[in-house]
Amino acid sequence: MLFRTLMADLKVLLLADGQRTRGSVAVRDLMDVKRSQSMIWLCLMPILLFGMVIQGWHAHLDLAEGHTTPDVWQLALFNGISGGLTADSGFFAWLFYGASFVFPIFFVAFFVGLVWDMIFSRLRKETVQEGHLVVAILFALMLPVTIPLWLVAIGMSFAVVVGKQIFGGLGYNLLNPALVGLAFLTFAYPTVMSGDGIYWAVEGAKSPITLQALDSKGAFEGVTWYSVFGDARWWDAFFGLDSGAIGETSTLLILICGGMLLLCRLADWRIVLAVLIGMIATATMFNLIGDDKNVLYQMPWTWHLVTGGFALGMMFLATDPTTAPYTRKAKWAYGVLIGFMVVMIRVVNPEHVEGIMLAILFANLWSPLLDYFVARANIKRRQARNAL
């Protein structure tokens, strides 16, 4: 059954739908659920590959500074074939080095998620649902490269069982499954999911740019949203030259790949724009209020954009059609709520740099209620207009 499921996924990706509409004149859209899921993970693949390359590139730079590669099983094949990474290694060596750490994480997430989907499909006597590959990629992209594989399996199990299947499967889940799994690992294993060195596959490497590091340096004193364009650290974070979680490094690449989703109409531009507006408005509000004891009050919105996985959450997680509202007005409110909560969480508690995770999960809970309020308002307006 596992082999048949994998072959079915490959067939959906490469071949057109074989169904034919017979009888009266009709138009069949080939962008069905399976095809839309395939488009989403195709948009995510460049981000995953960049996460591999950037790990190898950073390791290459750190080796030149005197650091050493870790003695771990992931590098056994890499060292056996290439003889090890050196300061003179090129692009493909960087990719292979990063893949030695990233691919096992993705494979475990995919395999565990697929097994759970198969188990529940057997219990319900249904075919295996789509979406397991997208959930696996999104979950893997938000993890640190040094996470143990057994934790990946536990987190993915929690994501699929509690985040998706317990509600009825694909299309019925109230919360984003990938974020449910990430939240579980974040609160159950905080030492593994945070701290120095978790984002680097090199021993003794420097830590990436974090809100805590910026805060401790007083980096936002007198900084405006446009003055960051003269800061090399901001450009490093924007292009992805500073490390972080596997798929959260390059804001530029995430925006480009997310733009493809918008062009394919698989993501709603209203949600993306509303999240951005909510974040900018809230960050500006804190800038105006100010606080001598908390430098993050002065953090401009341009820094919020490139840190903590904000771009990935805005483009790929907040726009999940299952957990987002259906009505247009509710989508605007939903996005603004996410943008507001991201900044609020980060400023109040800088330890939660991944404020986008909690913000989206919180907004997911409000999504049905927002749709209800919009629907009720429409009903009352029409009743008043027609004097009913």
H helices of 149-268, in order, are 149-161, 177-188, 190-193, 211-216, 232-239, 251-263
Say yes or no to pLDDT of 196 above 70. no
Residue pair 277/336 in contact (Cβ under 8 Å)? The answer is yes
Percentage helix, strand, coil, to 5, in the chain? Answer: 65, 0, 35
Out of 193, 225, 251, a domain closes at 193
- Tell me whether residue 17 is in a domain: no
Whether residue 231 sits in one domain with residue 125: no
Tens of pLDDT, residue by residue over 213-244, are 555 555 677 777 888 888 888 898 899 887 77
Looking at residue 30, its pLDDT comes to 60
- Tell me whether residue 202 is in a domain: no
The residue among 369, 301, 299 whose CA lies nearest residue 329 is: 369
Whether residue 288 sits in one domain with residue 224: yes
Residue 185 burial (10 A CB sphere; 0-12, 13-18, 19+): buried
Most confident of the following: 147-151, 211-215, 291-295: 147-151
Looking at residue 14, its pLDDT comes to 54
Say yes or no to pLDDT of 209 above 60. no
Tens of pLDDT, residue by residue over 175-192, are 999 999 999 999 999 888
Distances (CA, A) of 257 to 42, 240, 278, 290: 9, 14, 22, 35
Whether residue 177 sits in one domain with residue 47: yes
Whether residue 97 sits in one domain with residue 173: yes
Confidence of residue 206 (pLDDT cuts 50, 70, 90): low
Confidence of residue 212 (pLDDT cuts 50, 70, 90): low
List, in order, residues 6 or more apart from 242 with CB less than 8 Å away.
208, 209, 233, 236, 249
Whether residue 215 sits in one domain with residue 177: no
> How many angstroms separate the CA atoms of 154 and 152, rounded?
6
Tokens of 47: 């981000």
Total domains in the fold of the chain: 2
Residue pair 364/347 in contact (Cβ under 8 Å)? The answer is no
Q: Virtual CA dihedral for 156, 158, 318, 141, nearest 10 degrees? A: -20
Q: What is the mean pLDDT of residues 312-332?
A: 94
By residue range, what is the domain housing residue 290?
Answer: 211-385
Say yes or no to pLDDT of 353 above 90. no
- 220 vs 103, more confident: 103
Q: Which residue has the tokens 């908390």?
A: 294
Reported pTM: 0.88
Whether residue 226 sits in one domain with residue 170: no
Whether residue 172 sits in one domain with residue 70: yes
Q: What is the mean pLDDT of residues 316-336?
A: 95
Most confident of the following: 24-38, 66-80, 258-272: 258-272
Out of 158, 193, 228, a domain closes at 193
Most confident of the following: 51-60, 203-212, 219-228: 51-60
pLDDT > 70 in the chain, percent? 83
Whether residue 301 sits in one domain with residue 172: no
- 331 vs 123, more confident: 331
- 311: enclosing H helix or E strand: helix 310-312
Q: What is the mean pLDDT of residues 9-29?
A: 59
Q: How crowded is residue 245: how many other Cβ atoms within 10 Å of its Cβ?
A: 23
Tens of pLDDT, residue by residue over 36-46, are 888 898 999 99
Candidate from 25-39, 199-213, 264-278 with smallest mean pLDDT: 199-213
Whether residue 300 sits in one domain with residue 245: yes
Looking at residue 244, its pLDDT comes to 79
- Tell me whether residue 7 is in a domain: no
Q: CA torsion sign, 123 to 127 to 131 to 137?
A: positive
Whether residue 239 sits in one domain with residue 175: no
Whether residue 313 sits in one domain with residue 178: no
Q: What is the 3-state secondary structure (H, E, C) of 114-154?
A: HHHHHHHHHHHCCCCCCCHHHHHHHHHHCCCCCCCHHHHHH
Residue pair 313/357 in contact (Cβ under 8 Å)? The answer is yes
- 63 vs 338, more confident: 338
- 115 vs 231, more confident: 115
Buried b (16+ CB within 10 A) or exposed e, 107-119: ebbbbbbbbbbbe
Rg of the chain, C-alpha, whole Å? 22
Confidence of residue 313 (pLDDT cuts 50, 70, 90): very high
Say yes or no to pLDDT of 279 above 90. yes
The whole-angstrom distance between residue 26's C-alpha and the CA centroid of its chain comes to: 38
Tokens of 136: 């696996």
> How many angstroms separate the CA atoms of 15 and 279, rounded?
41
- Tell me whether residue 246 is in a domain: yes
Looking at residue 227, its pLDDT comes to 82
- Tell me whether residue 59 is in a domain: yes
- Tell me whether residue 20 is in a domain: no
Confidence of residue 355 (pLDDT cuts 50, 70, 90): confident
- Tell me whether residue 13 is in a domain: no
Residue pair 276/251 in contact (Cβ under 8 Å)? The answer is no
- Tell me whether residue 19 is in a domain: no
Whether residue 371 sits in one domain with residue 251: yes
Looking at residue 178, its pLDDT comes to 95
Please provide the size of the chain in residues: 388
